[in-house]
Amino acid sequence: MINFHPTQQQLSDFAQGLSAPALSLVISAHADMCPQCKRQISQLESASAKILVEQPFDRMAEQPTDFASMLAEITCLPAAEGPSNISQSHQIELDGRKFSVPRALKRYVEKTGNWSHLLGNLWQAPVDLGPIGKANFIFMQKQGRVPEHTHRGTELTLVIDGEFSDGISHYDTGDFILMNSENTHAPYSEASEGCLVFTIVDAPLHFTSGIARLLNPFSHLFF
């Protein structure tokens, strides 16, 4: 069950097209998995569309019927996909296991590199987001553990499949997590099926405890 959602402010900014691109992508992917946020976003979008309609301005006068595509542009949401766009390749695969990704991430499946094994039951596949930056799919096998770390920037995480804990909370499929330099955590999964997450960090992690501090020179591995 989804317990962690973007804040009201984040949803409102998203609906108005004001979110940073990385945040916008992760909120969009979360909304694909979360009917509650999807509904709120569409309400917020119609509210801002109404404001636009009530305020006459030139561009609207030129294209009075094109609200849908304009809003799609503003919110970075792809226009609705027809059935022809749905294909089997919209899954990512690790060791023969296939995972469906939310609609907003489908276009990045082909931009996902090979899996590499990190330390301790952790697997990572880099994702090229083009101008948005870099992301990673991280898979924590059962007992997989990311050493305790804090963040020099922000760390956005969406749980794609499975569940994990980090010493702060327990997260389930669909949960949206935003961490920054004020948060120190150590993600691990005890689920027998492991846990797949999609994560975007805008600066390398900083490992904080014990022997993991020795990893700091390699923290770009997670970046």
Binding string, 144-163, against Zn ion, x = CB under 5 A?
Answer: --------------------
Among 37-45, 123-131, 133-141, 148-156, which window interacts with Zn ion (CB under 5 A)? 37-45
Shorter beta-carbon distance to Zn ion: residue 8 or 63: 8
Closest distance of CB 87 from Zn ion, Å: 27
Q: How many whole angstroms separate alpha carbon 125 and alpha carbon 140?
A: 12
State the Cα–Cα distance between residues 26 and 101, nearest whole angstrom: 12
- 148 vs 163 by CB, closer to Zn ion: 163
Size of the site for Zn ion (CB under 5 A): 3
Exactly one of 23, 25, 26, 37 binds Zn ion (CB under 5 A); that residue is: 37
Nearer to Zn ion, 5 or 145 (CB): 5
Q: How far apart are CA 151 and CA 204, in angstroms?
A: 7
Structure tokens, 21: 């691109």
Q: Kindly tell me which of 39 and 117 has the beta carbon lying closer to Zn ion.
A: 39
Q: Is 185 in the site for Zn ion (CB under 5 A)?
A: no
Rounded CA-CA distance 40/51 in Å is 17
Considering only 4-12, 96-104, 157-165, 203-211, which stretch makes contact with Zn ion by CB under 5 A? 4-12
Alpha-carbon span 104 to 49, nearest angstrom: 22
Candidates 5, 103, 145, 149; binder of Zn ion (CB under 5 A) is 5
Q: Which of 34, 92, 135, 160 touches Zn ion (CB under 5 A)?
A: 34
End-to-end CA distance of the chain: 28
Q: Which is nearer to Zn ion, 26 or 34 (CB)?
A: 34
Distance CA(146)–CA(201), nearest Å, equals 14
Taking the C-alpha atoms of residue 50 and residue 160, their distance in angstroms, rounded to an integer, is 34
Q: How far apart are CA 202 and CA 119, in angstroms?
A: 21
Residues that bind Zn ion (CB under 5 A): 5, 34, 37
